[in-house]
Amino acid sequence: DIQMTQSPSSLSASLGGKVTITCKASQDINKYIAWYQHKPGKGPRLLIHYTSTLQPGIPSRFSGSGSGRDYSFSISNLEPEDIATYYCLQYDNLLTFGAGTKLELK
């Protein structure tokens, strides 16, 4: 099974700032990674799939990159509504989530 090591587990940032989250796969996942935003009491929201493809309606402040085993996700110009937990998901070989990153306001 493919393991996804996501870091950091939590981070704090200022409004208007930029944050970056990384996910490292235990093997090459061929860019088959998605990123989700999850707020309490709701279903997760798809932000990005296939490494860098933004879902319709998702602001361009969200971006993704990477290849092979190493992937990253960034949010620029942080807004209050971005406070949430973020997860990566590999779907190259079955499906595995990263452990999540809790984003808080500084």
Residues that bind other proteins (CB under 8 A): 1, 32, 34, 36, 38, 41-46, 49, 55, 87, 89, 91, 93-100
Residue 14 to residue 25: CA distance in whole angstroms:
29
Residue 31 to residue 33: CA distance in whole angstroms:
6
Report the residue number, 33 or 75, with the smaller CB distance to other proteins: 33
CB of 10 to other proteins, least distance (A): 12
Report the residue number, 7 or 14, with the smaller CB distance to other proteins: 7
**Which residues neighbour 40 within 8 Å (Cβ) at sequence distance 6 or greater?**
none
